[in-house]
Structure 1
Amino acid sequence: MTTNEFDQDAAGAADLGKLEENLEKLEGLTKRLAKVMSHKRNVPASLQGPGQDLYMKAATAYMAEMMHNPAKMIEHQVGYWGKTLKHYVEAQNQIAHGKLEPPEDTGPSDPRFSNPLWDSHPFFNFMKQQYLLNAEAMQESLGGLEGLSERDRQRLDYFSRQIVDMLAPTNFLATNPDALEKAVETQGQSLVDGLENLVRDLEANQGELIVSLADKSAFKVGENIGTTPGQVVFRNRMLELIQYTPTTETVHEIPLVIFPPWINKFYILDLNAQKSLIKWLVDQGFTVFVTSWVNPDASYADVTLDTYVEEGYLAAIEAAKTICGTKKVNTVGYCIAGTTLSATLGVMKRRKDTSINSATFFTTMTDFSDPGEVGVFLADDFVDGLEAECAATGILDRFYMARTFSFLRSNDLIYKPAIKSYMMGETPPAFDLLFWNGDGTNLPGKMAVQYLRELCQGNQLAAGGFNVCGETVDLKDVTVPLCAVACETDHIAAWKSSYRGVQQMGSKDKTFILAGSGHIAGIVNPPAKKKYGHWTNPEIGLTAEDWRDSADAHEGSWWPKWQAWLAEKSGKQVPARAPGGPGFEPICPAPGTYVSAAPKL
């Protein structure tokens, strides 16, 4: 035997040994998988998909279309079968002539099919083109149905797209060339690593699949994320109030109190020194307070929006005023916290409380007459299920919120990361924004149902009046100077809906800014990055479409424009304030304890 032959045999034996080792690992992982699935979370059927009435309406509309307009249906079917059969014949013809290459591919470009094999390999190209033809046929068939309300049409379109996206050939190992190539290159190690990732995610979520989007071991709040210096200066059962340490010798007299959403953690505004809106505001000479909301457990079951207003907003505002020795504060509300800030301003107006000098709303919905994409989950079938879940457990578990928002961008937030993690065996990236995205919180049961029923479904702030803290308020009660920032591609708070809410507010001093990008990236957009432009237009009376068409475009971040607006509302310069004061001595350093405390479940 030659040395070369010996080396080849040794390499083959090593590969075989590696394969056997991986097979043993697969056996162990399979046992873990079976164990976690045997204790799978019981998710009510009402929260697994839309009610059967939606499909019955679609089926009825389809049958009516067949009866009353058969030519249209026949034309659609003939067109679909014609394209499918033509492509099949062309593929067969290539093989018959000895050409191991696909027929001409004139289909649309799709980032899911970026591997060159999707275009050059006969099998993969056939799978891709047939999938795209089927997807097109389904969308055209359902999109052309008559006899459905616009809301039902939107929901049918959304949930049918979910099915189409789920069935993409990229989502299956046997038809994903990237995953197959990686498995061969690694002697199956990628599949072992992928199964390990899958089992880990299932174990972390009681058998339900929530894809890990970021490497959780890469971040620790207070160490490399959420690190702007400050002190917790007030605490109650609802929040910790953080006051940040000044970095300038003087500051604006009127402090700023920021209310982040309690669906996630406040440090989205303090990811790191380069991205932190909080640090940037401190460096511009503002005294900044931020609320860090509690992560509620079942003991918070009876907490309502009244509690958030009284023990959250009003308590934080009073503390900031006392600490700074001012009669007024400026405020910011982000997402659901902006909606609740609107209600709080109404309560304060009814009580003749003039503590708010100005209000800023980040990606805030107050008029839910057209809630946009998220509206597909606001029908009774889902809300009834959530209400039953809240009644049974006392909370709305963060699992449901995470899953809902992920499905609004399923290709980006479910299937793409699932392919990389479970098929390719890759470790999730060390990405701070995605780490934050996975660090959600529970919601008190009554508060969640109240928000869904009265504000989202009932649209009471914009139509009829919303009862909160013993007062009936509506958008006309928001009379302080205001600035609203919406995001162009926001899939949670549609910018046009945000704009319509601002139009109905009673303030005579309104500024509306449309930022590029989405719900998070559009807000967390520091000037130094020079990303995403923004648009302004003082004519708030226009329709949303006309406002956008006639708006002035600006390059880069909206932060400096808002900072100039806020500075005008913030008074003269005074000596910088150290955190805390008499009766509000510092309790602990920022980011506090609530941000990392787990609920007692």
Structure 2
Amino acid sequence: MQQSFPDTGLFSVTALDNVFKAGMARMTGGISPAGLVSLYCTWAAHLSMSPGKQVRLNEKALRKSYKSFCHMLASASPGEEGTCIEPLPQDRRFSHPGWQQWPFSQIYQNFLLTQQWWHNATTDIDGLSKAEENGLSFIARQMLDHYSPSNIPWLNPEVLQTTADQGGANLINGFQNFLEDMQRQLSDKPPVGVENFIPGKQVAITPGKVVYRNHLMELIQYSPTTETVQAEPILIVPAWIMKYYILDLSPHNSMVKYLVDNGHTVFMISWLNPTPKDRGLDMDDYRQLGVMAAIDAISDICPKQKIHTAGYCLGGTLLSITAATMAREGDDRLKTMTHFAAQVDFSEAGELMLFTDESQISYLEKMMWDQGVLDGSQMAGAFQILRSNDLIWSRMVHHYLLGEKDHMNDLMAWNSDLTRMPYKMHSHYLRSMFLNNELASGRYLVNDKPIAISDIHVPIFSVGTEQDHVAPWHSVYKLHLIADSEEITFVLTSGGHNAGIVSEPGHKHRHYRISAKKDQERYIDPDNWLVNTPIKEGSWWTEWHQWLVANSSGEVDAREPGKQAKYKPLCDAPGTYVHQV
């Protein structure tokens, strides 16, 4: 009988592929060249088989050329003003008055017409899926934004005027800014001004104690400021993609301080910043060592009381997984569940889906396999690309061409306090959520058994933000279709993924919409909900506080952290994990 042996050459070949792709991924910022080439070939093939679309694009090119020519003639006539195309509302690149003067008006109008033509060229093509069209349109926009006339100093009237007014001092200052940024980047230092927002000194200073710690997280219990508190404590589960203290920034905009001052016992998870030795941590470790360990500790500290829970972004997704698992197992310790810009259905997860097809995830996995973690700067780069106009090109113009200094604030400093993610966990998260949408379809396994969001029956408070590029509010709203809660209160607030959540009372120009859906009421689609739900001025925080009180059972004496012998204070808040770099 012939004995078979494993092909040892197969392992060396696979290792060679992994090492090669890992090295390439670091050079390309984790963006798969194969995915881009595949997308381009798909577009070119379908466009080549669509002669009608080609005729239409040629016709549009002629029309836009004619518009541009007419605009040039009109601009040459004294007293004639006007535009043939307006920038999109969020596009502020051409807001300076100098862009309305010839020849700059002609330059930026031609750019916008070209940008519009490429949008037409990459959309509405027979045979292309919506995801492919979104990807193509996004890539075309990124390439065009790179060559925007606003980024070219001799084509930007604001730069030219500033240079003339300052005798070129702005360019000297800009070059110094560039050298300083490069020096800090090469020496792995944070941006200028971050030193004024150190956790425990200027931010994350709400008094409290770390009452529990394991390898993955520290649990902070905050000190009360009122004589009595609501009976049910609050557990907040932040995303581990960034540090927790976005919810405890400066005293004036700290959600934690607001809750404590309004009579709530607040607990916060502060996650470990993983290193390559933590590469094997997975999603279930975050569930058990994170959320469940915190719930067990709080149940001991506040015996016989159910728990209000809140999860931010990825923390909200993990909280939903935990709540569904607890419901399946008959664990009824949760009183309510709140989502801050969190998704459970990832079928329409916005522009992040552009980075989460099989080609991209497989490519990214090779880099994480090699490093053991996904580095914070690599993840931050992906988020910057989603908002390249605001976070890359606009900053370049103001910082390097106009010579202006960045004015650091607490939210910006927090955003630069980067964290890492373990290889195994992040791979599992990307595949199970973004690629396969297992949680929404009832195929996500916990302990080898599927869980269902529909098993969660506690009242839910869900917050979406109007300008969210990470968790679009239409996607967050899909919770209405999946959850079987007795009540879902949905809030849509102004702002983006972070600024919309940090929306403290007294913040100017804030507004929100809110409505509650009982289990017997019919579903309303998000667009009709938007039209029929009135705008309220101010902060949604007050609504959440009132909702928590309405879903509580009364008041008890305030709880000082560390009273139980088992949970004696380990250190003062903000703890030690928040300082890990």
**Normalized against structure 2, the TM-score is what?**
0.88
Q: Which residue of 1 aligns with 2:535?
A: 553
Query: Which has the larger displacement, 406-415 or 241-250?
Result: 406-415
Structure 1 residues 166 and 107: alpha-carbon distance in aligned structure 2, compared to 1, 3 A threshold: same
Is 1:399 aligned with 2:377?
yes
Q: 2:129 aligns with which of 149, 164, 169?
A: 149
CA shift, 1:262, in A, is: 0.7
Q: How does 1:31-110 map to 2 (within 5 A)?
A: 42-44=26-28, 47=31, 50-65=35-50, 67-68=51-52, 71-87=55-71, 105-109=83-87
Q: How does 1:178-257 map to 2 (within 5 A)?
A: 178-206=158-186, 215-257=193-235
What letter matches 2:505 in structure 1?
Answer: P
What letter matches 1:118 in structure 2?
Answer: W
Query: Which has the larger displacement, 139-148 or 232-241?
Result: 139-148
Q: 2:438 aligns with which of 444, 453, 460?
A: 460
> Structure 1 CA distance, aligned partners of 2:501 and 2:526?
20
Q: Which residue of 2 aligns with 1:538?
A: 516
> Structure 2 CA distance, aligned partners of 1:572 and 1:430?
42
> Structure 1 CA distance, aligned partners of 2:421 and 2:125?
38
Deviations 1:397-425 (A, max 9, x none): 11121111112211111111121112122
SS of the residue corresponding to residue 583 of structure 1 reads helix
Report if aligned partners of 2:487, 2:516 keep a CA contact under 8 Å in 1. Answer: no
Structure 1 residues 526 and 487: alpha-carbon distance in aligned structure 2, compared to 1, 3 A threshold: same
> Structure 2 CA distance, aligned partners of 1:519 and 1:228?
23
Structure 1 residues 130 and 340: alpha-carbon distance in aligned structure 2, compared to 1, 3 A threshold: same
Report if aligned partners of 1:367, 1:461 keep a CA contact under 8 Å in 2. Answer: yes
Deviations 1:139-164 (A, max 9, x none): 23333433311111111111211122
Structure 1 residues 217 and 123: alpha-carbon distance in aligned structure 2, compared to 1, 3 A threshold: farther
Report if aligned partners of 1:489, 1:519 keep a CA contact under 8 Å in 2. Answer: yes
SS of the residue corresponding to residue 591 of structure 1 reads coil
CA shift, 1:203, in A, is: 4.2
Q: Which residue of 2 aligns with 1:573?
A: 555
Query: Which has the larger displacement, 548-557 or 245-254?
Result: 548-557
SS of the residue corresponding to residue 374 of structure 1 reads helix
Using the aligned pairs only, state the percent identity.
Answer: 34
Report if aligned partners of 2:31, 2:355 keep a CA contact under 8 Å in 1. Answer: no
Is 1:509 aligned with 2:487?
yes
> Structure 2 CA distance, aligned partners of 1:500 and 1:576?
37
Deviations 1:53-100 (A, max 9, x none): 1111221222222x3455423312321332344455667x66xxxx8x
Gap runs ≥5 in structure 1: 1-38
Query: Which has the larger displacement, 102-111 or 359-368?
Result: 102-111
> Structure 1 CA distance, aligned partners of 2:80 and 2:272?
58
> Structure 2 CA distance, aligned partners of 1:432 and 1:463?
39
What letter matches 1:414 in structure 2?
Answer: I
SS of the residue corresponding to residue 234 of structure 1 reads strand
CA shift, 1:464, in A, is: 3.3
Is 1:443 aligned with 2:421?
yes
Q: 1:176 aligns with which of 156, 175, 182?
A: 156
Report if aligned partners of 2:225, 2:263 keep a CA contact under 8 Å in 1. Answer: yes
What letter matches 1:60 in structure 2?
Answer: A
Q: Which residue of 2 aligns with 1:7?
A: none
> Structure 1 CA distance, aligned partners of 2:24 and 2:364?
19
Q: Which residue of 1 aligns with 2:92?
A: 111
RMSD (CA atoms): 2.6
What letter matches 2:356 in structure 1?
Answer: L
Q: 2:343 aligns with which of 342, 355, 365?
A: 365
Q: Which residue of 2 aligns with 1:30?
A: none
Structure 1 residues 182 and 240: alpha-carbon distance in aligned structure 2, compared to 1, 3 A threshold: same
SS of the residue corresponding to residue 237 of structure 1 reads coil
What letter matches 2:573 in structure 1?
Answer: A
What letter matches 1:111 in structure 2?
Answer: R
SS of the residue corresponding to residue 541 of structure 1 reads coil
Query: Which has the larger displacement, 43-52 or 380-389?
Result: 43-52
> Structure 2 CA distance, aligned partners of 1:470 and 1:151?
31
Q: Which residue of 1 aligns with 2:580?
A: 597
> Structure 1 CA distance, aligned partners of 2:508 and 2:73?
51
Report if aligned partners of 1:239, 1:312 keep a CA contact under 8 Å in 2. Answer: yes
> Structure 2 CA distance, aligned partners of 1:184 and 1:349?
67
Q: Which residue of 1 aligns with 2:314?
A: 336
Gap runs ≥5 in structure 2: 1-22
SS of the residue corresponding to residue 368 of structure 2 reads helix
Structure 1 residues 147 and 465: alpha-carbon distance in aligned structure 2, compared to 1, 3 A threshold: closer
Q: Which residue of 2 aligns with 1:317?
A: 295
Report if aligned partners of 1:46, 1:381 keep a CA contact under 8 Å in 2. Answer: no
Q: 1:286 aligns with which of 248, 259, 264?
A: 264
> Structure 2 CA distance, aligned partners of 1:367 and 1:180?
48
> Structure 1 CA distance, aligned partners of 2:53 and 2:106?
33
What letter matches 2:528 in structure 1?
Answer: D
Deviations 1:215-239 (A, max 9, x none): 3233222111111111111111111
User: Which one has the largest radius of gyration?
Assistant: 1
Report if aligned partners of 1:197, 1:421 keep a CA contact under 8 Å in 2. Answer: yes
SS of the residue corresponding to residue 360 of structure 1 reads strand
Structure 1 residues 528 and 408: alpha-carbon distance in aligned structure 2, compared to 1, 3 A threshold: same
Report if aligned partners of 1:515, 1:534 keep a CA contact under 8 Å in 2. Answer: yes
Report if aligned partners of 1:360, 1:483 keep a CA contact under 8 Å in 2. Answer: yes
Deviations 1:158-217 (A, max 9, x none): 121112222111112222233333344444443233223223334444599x995x7323
CA shift, 1:283, in A, is: 0.6
What letter matches 1:287 in structure 2?
Answer: T
What letter matches 1:114 in structure 2?
Answer: S
